[in-house]
Structure 1
Amino acid sequence: MGLELEDALKKWFGYEEFRQGQRQIVQNIFEGNDVFAMLPTGSGKSLCYQLPALLKEGTAVIVSPLLALMDNQVQELKQQGIKSVTAINSFLSHEEKKEKIRELPFHKIVYLSPETLTQEWVLSRLENMNISLFAVDEAHCISQWGHEFRTHYLRLGEVRKRIGNPPCLALTATATPKVQKDIVTQLQLEKAVHFIHPIDRPNIALFVKKHTGEHDKEKNLIEWIENLPGPGMVYISSRKKAEKLAQLIREKTSKTTASYHGGLSNEDRLLIQQQFLSSSLDVICCTSAFGMGINKPDIGFVIHYQYPTNLESFIQEIGRAGRDGRQSVSLLLVSPEDGDIPALLIENEFPPKEEYLAVLDDIVNNHSCKQITEEELMHQYGMEETHARFLHFYLRFFQIIDAASILTTHNVTEIGRILENQIVKRKRVKYSQLRQMETWIHEKGCRREGLLKVFNETMNPERPAICCDECGHEPPGSETTEQKVKTIFQWNARLRHILHQ
């Protein structure tokens, strides 16, 4: 299509040229091809489906896992003058959802979570529309071998068929070769064009700093926050600790900060997100609930106060730094007691045996499973959201939901045994990924090379000017207070010498 793509890029987004990899992806989508693309965090993945969606006839369906990500992208597009875009999610009332569903054909781009998309009343509306593109963002969520497996993603293959089998774009920033293969299989992209770009971000320097204990780590965190060029992000595993560290930073530094986690109301999360994006906050202390798809190019550092359960999450999170191309820092703080935290996160991800057996027993005895939802599992049985999502998926998988006759042919003990085997299998994968993360933290040798090895990639011969602590480098702008005082003293002495005093 010659220069027309560049003209459209300029018209809709104001850019003179595409970033690396974007044009080929957009071209293939516009021509009706399926595409699998792995682009590093911050490389402009969203434009790869937004531009062809605006150029093609019909409505593009964008599957996105995070509500904050959807709202952020909708607001950005509307600010750019693109009004025919909407998102349907749990931020809306039932009446608002019904109204948006009626208006779907009048939009060029529609953002949906996989949980919303797989609801029958939504699917039946999409079936009668001209769907121009089916884009799956964060596509690694479809793979049980990936770091953020979401059971509803597994239904996307059948969803795509029901809405007319439109061209599919699967996008991710972090996927090992095994996960890449699983994405292609689950979405039935056997004839897709593949674009695999290196995950390395040379402008992000990698550092691991080891501490003797929690007090030592908190003290050093404050020094790093005060001295590293911001704005910045601090990742913490628990909500309570995120709030505590935000308070500590407010008390001990000159930085403005807030905490962000899944326990906040939707309104508070959106407010804090907008404050950070508009630079009203210098630092955000957050759990993994924050960051995916957040378009803030000037983040100078990402600190992990505790390490995540896998390297894929780590790479995705540090990739939020330095999107403007400037030198930035990834800093991982480690202390001896940290090892218990990721293991606890893995254990808490799955429902305990006594919980799901009790729920199954009650459901089967009362023959109440035909229409049960995830929300009912949470409200009626008090299950956590991740536990309810896991159990609901397997109830549907075993055809207990939507097939009342199956209730008399399935034994609770047998279903429980199969669920237990699934949980054991998932935990085995998770702990293997955790060991890989911990090996990277403690092994000797270039940290960048160690990360790239996980993705079957090799180091660029031209090494970054500031690579990692194992290569003998220090973070830029990381001067401690003690070093600053020493530097001032040395300059005072030098000045006295020059003036013969």
Structure 2
Amino acid sequence: MAQLLAALNKYFGFTDFRPGQREVVEQVMAGQDVLAIMPTGQGKSLCYQLPGFMLPGITLVISPLVALMKDQVDSLHTRKLHQATFLNSQLTPEEHRQRLAGIRQGKYKLIYVAPERLRTRSFSALISDMPLDLLVVDEAHCISQWGHDFRPDYLYLREFIQGLARRPRVLALTATATPRVQQDILQQLGIEQAVKVVAGSDRPNLYLAARRLASGQAKLQALTLVLAGLSGSGIIYTATRKETEEVAAFLISQLKLPAAPYHAGMTPEQRAAVQESFINGEYPVVVATNAFGMGIDKQDIRFVIHYSMPASIEAYYQEVGRAGRDGQPATCTLLYTPRDRALQDWMINNDALTREHLVIFWKAYQRGWRNGRSILDINELAAAGLDENRLRLVAVGLERHGVISLVERNAEYLEIESGPREMDAKIARAILRQSERHQFDRRTKLQALVNWIHTGSCRRRVLLEYFGERVKQPAGRCCDNCTANSSGEEEYSFEPLEVLRCLQQLPRGVGRKKMAAILRGAKEKDIIERDYHLLPHYGKLKHLTGTAVLAMIDRLLGDGYLMASGDQYPVLELTPKGWEAISLGNPLPVPPEVEQSPPKPANHINQRLDEVLLAALKEYRSGLARQNNKPAFIFFHDRVLEEIARQKPDSLAALGQIPGIGPQKLARFGQDLLDLIRKNNLVKG
């Protein structure tokens, strides 16, 4: 222990370990394989970085995220630990050559790579000649098809490990893995006897809340109210690039809040500038897709808001885990509308693998065939409809069935050669069935998150039970449901019981919308044809709106009285808890009303936009961007410049009234903007 603490202080300047870190490091240093489950922000990276510098050989870190590799290596370099590097597709050919040379010369102790690199012969041959002491599988849930972020390339890790002349110890790390996923990780890596270190997923300093809203407009109103009660820096997560831009513009123009968007459609330079500005406090709020936050070393994030629902409980908990890493209280709020569920369903369906995708791949494979190998243009495949995710599924599926063998892969092309087997209908069906199983699992995870949103139970307890952990009923600041229950705000009624009794009477399962229609006494054709209108509980809730009945069904799902079974078209079933509720006959909790949209404001006549002035303002902004080597939108969003070109303010006071022009920007750029406006007026005059 003394030796470990001395090394911890020498390399990282720390005097003690965080919970779970010491146990992992001790087992690794003792030569054991380890599976470590540690919450986000608990310092998983130190669990392999410290052994990496202490062990005599090299440590190979498998990471699925290019940005995370760079952040980790940059962080080590700031500590003057320069024996770390990474290899990824964003390096120039010269940078790649130099780093490979450095690896051959023994210059590095820690090497970060993406999982697909292990399948290239050149890199495998290089590593086989190196003294590999430790193989680290970061984000290890990616290896499990039951995990929330399955990556097919991870499936080759076991084969890679077994192919090494000298087997290294293996450390698998993840923050979010159910018991089923944990077992799958061990099996897929071939480390069934590994020591398991579970540090616990509970983050008691995070206050968890979810709000059910009727529409996007109601969501903007709720976002305004939530932000009004918060201070400090935070992240607002959205589902799409468009939503990211729109919400950021709303914060800037309507709430006068310094904010910036962040998504994959921006250039690497733009994303880096936003990230840097967020870390140093120039932008207290970033509106981002789920790529933002990985590896960001910012301890004082005081809130995370999900403007859009993520795809699973695992993804949600990983993202809120970026708040409050300093141990101080932080607030995590999820805003939900029915459209969010529909969007996630669409994404799942849109990612499905079809026979046509196999045909696209196979034709490209045949066209590119030269001298025993085929080179496939990845951009060309994407344009034909085979995007990166589907390409991975097809290529990995064919390779696992022995049809092809990967030779080399980078951001531009895929080089493969034929395997010992021929492509046939049986193999195609097997690949498509695997894709269908993956789709089903994604839908199951999505339903679990929707149930969590609608539950009236303690949100922290439900989350931890999902990950196979038990927690005592927390005291104090916990979640919105605990707050409501402790204040006596929870309402009870016999109406939810009528839903359960109606389902009990049905001869066959129905979906939630059909169930609501039956309870409301709808006269739809199939309801009459199937004699649902003859049921004793037909029309029992006709005095309620369809939205209210659906909310009641969702609450029963969330509280575990009902379950949804089936794949694309799930039907409702009673759970043992639901049967017990029918037997007892007691009233059940009623969900709170869904928050509605505010009334639309009265129309107002917009001032005419001065296009000449707008062009001059944009040119001024471009000059600022060039001078400071930052993206233009960091200085002024388009909507801010458009408002200036409409109102044409004639004083600093008037300019300061425009949304998006805060005190700092007014002091820094105000006089320049007024000079541009006056110059424009003189020219026109």
TM-score, with length taken from structure 2: 0.66
Kindly report the root-mean-square deviation, in angstroms, between the aligned alpha carbons of the 2 structures. Answer: 2.1
Match status 1:445 vs 2:457: yes
Q: Matched residues in 2 for 1:106 and 1:88: separation?
A: 14
Tell me the CA shift for residue 459 of structure 1: 1.9
Correspondent of 2:477 among 466, 471, 478: 466
The SS at the match of 1:258 is: strand
Residue equivalent to 1:494: none
Tell me the CA shift for residue 242 of structure 1: 0.8
Residue equivalent to 1:492: none
- 1:31-76 CA deviation, whole Å, 9 max, x = no partner? 2111110001110000000001011112111111111111111111
CA contact (8 A) 1:258 1:281 kept: yes
Q: Matched residues in 1 for 2:161 and 2:351: separation?
A: 28
Correspondent of 1:323 among 309, 315, 325: 325
Tell me the CA shift for residue 372 of structure 1: 4.2
Residue equivalent to 2:195: 193
Higher RCO, 1 vs 2 (CA within 8 Å, ≥6 residues apart): 1
Residue equivalent to 1:26: 25
Tell me the CA shift for residue 378 of structure 1: 3.4
The SS at the match of 2:173 is: strand
Q: Which amino acid aligns with 1:375?
A: I
Correspondent of 2:278 among 264, 276, 279: 276
Residue equivalent to 1:486: none
Tell me the CA shift for residue 420 of structure 1: 2.0
Residue equivalent to 1:154: 155
Correspondent of 1:385 among 371, 385, 388: 388
* Compared CA separation, residues 86 and 213, structure 1 to 2 (3 A): same
Correspondent of 1:396 among 391, 396, 399: 399
Q: Which amino acid aligns with 1:470?
A: N
Correspondent of 2:466 among 448, 454, 471: 454
Q: Matched residues in 2 for 1:303 and 1:374: separation?
A: 39
Q: Which amino acid aligns with 1:282?
A: P
Structure 1 residues without counterparts, runs of 5 or longer: 475-501
The SS at the match of 1:106 is: coil
Q: Which moved more, 1:15-24 or 1:223-232?
A: 223-232
Structure 2 residues without counterparts, runs of 5 or longer: 406-416, 486-685
CA contact (8 A) 1:370 1:401 kept: no
Q: Matched residues in 1 for 2:94 and 2:117: separation?
A: 15
Match status 1:410 vs 2:384: no
* Compared CA separation, residues 27 and 249, structure 1 to 2 (3 A): same
CA contact (8 A) 1:53 1:59 kept: yes
Q: Matched residues in 2 for 1:123 and 1:229: separation?
A: 50
Q: Which amino acid aligns with 2:394?
A: L
Tell me the CA shift for residue 373 of structure 1: 5.3
Match status 1:94 vs 2:73: no
* Compared CA separation, residues 373 and 53, structure 1 to 2 (3 A): farther
* Compared CA separation, residues 90 and 268, structure 1 to 2 (3 A): farther
Tell me the CA shift for residue 377 of structure 1: 6.3
Residue equivalent to 2:204: 202
Q: Matched residues in 2 for 1:417 and 1:56: separation?
A: 46
CA contact (8 A) 1:226 1:253 kept: no
CA contact (8 A) 2:239 2:310 kept: yes
Q: Which moved more, 1:267-276 or 1:369-378?
A: 369-378
Q: Matched residues in 2 for 1:472 and 1:379: separation?
A: 49
CA contact (8 A) 2:361 2:381 kept: no
Tell me the CA shift for residue 262 of structure 1: 2.0
Tell me the CA shift for residue 417 of structure 1: 2.1
Q: Which amino acid aligns with 2:184?
A: D
Tell me the CA shift for residue 117 of structure 1: 3.0
* Compared CA separation, residues 364 and 398, structure 1 to 2 (3 A): farther
Correspondence 1:323-402 to 2 at 5 A: 323-361=325-363, 363-364=365-366, 370-372=373-375, 375=378, 378=381, 381=384, 383-402=386-405
Q: Matched residues in 1 for 2:430 and 2:369: separation?
A: 20
Instruction: Say how many residue pairs are matched.
Output: 470
The SS at the match of 1:472 is: helix
* Compared CA separation, residues 161 and 294, structure 1 to 2 (3 A): farther
Q: Work out the percentage of aligned pairs sharing the same amino acid.
A: 36
CA contact (8 A) 1:250 1:257 kept: yes
The SS at the match of 2:246 is: helix
Match status 1:292 vs 2:294: yes
- 1:62-121 CA deviation, whole Å, 9 max, x = no partner? 111111111111111111111111111122012221221111121011111112232221
Q: Which moved more, 1:418-427 or 1:106-115?
A: 418-427
Tell me the CA shift for residue 374 of structure 1: 7.6
Q: Matched residues in 2 for 1:21 and 1:210: separation?
A: 36
Q: Which moved more, 1:256-265 or 1:317-326?
A: 256-265
Correspondent of 1:250 among 249, 252, 271: 252
Tell me the CA shift for residue 414 of structure 1: 3.5
* Compared CA separation, residues 136 and 226, structure 1 to 2 (3 A): same
* Compared CA separation, residues 297 and 374, structure 1 to 2 (3 A): farther
Match status 1:311 vs 2:313: yes
CA contact (8 A) 1:350 1:386 kept: no
Q: Which amino acid aligns with 1:100?
A: R
Residue equivalent to 1:174: 176
Residue equivalent to 1:115: 116
Tell me the CA shift for residue 307 of structure 1: 1.2
Residue equivalent to 1:231: 233
- 1:332-372 CA deviation, whole Å, 9 max, x = no partner? 00123222011112123334432333332453587579444
Q: Matched residues in 1 for 2:100 and 2:364: separation?
A: 35
Q: Which amino acid aligns with 2:190?
A: Q
Q: Matched residues in 2 for 1:177 and 1:372: separation?
A: 41
CA contact (8 A) 1:202 1:464 kept: no
Q: Which moved more, 1:198-207 or 1:336-345?
A: 336-345
Q: Matched residues in 2 for 1:466 and 1:405: separation?
A: 59
Tell me the CA shift for residue 379 of structure 1: 5.8
Q: Matched residues in 2 for 1:360 and 1:289: separation?
A: 31
Q: Matched residues in 2 for 1:395 and 1:197: separation?
A: 38
Q: Matched residues in 2 for 1:149 and 1:241: separation?
A: 25
> Which structure has the larger Rg?
2
Residue equivalent to 1:477: none
Residue equivalent to 1:428: 440
Residue equivalent to 1:485: none
- 1:256-305 CA deviation, whole Å, 9 max, x = no partner? 22222222222222222222222222111111112223221111111111
Q: Matched residues in 2 for 1:241 and 1:110: separation?
A: 36
Q: Matched residues in 2 for 1:202 and 1:420: separation?
A: 42
Q: Matched residues in 1 for 2:344 and 2:419: separation?
A: 41
- 1:138-179 CA deviation, whole Å, 9 max, x = no partner? 000000000000011111112223343211100000000000
Tell me the CA shift for residue 193 of structure 1: 1.1
Tell me the CA shift for residue 467 of structure 1: 0.8
Q: Matched residues in 1 for 2:257 and 2:355: separation?
A: 45
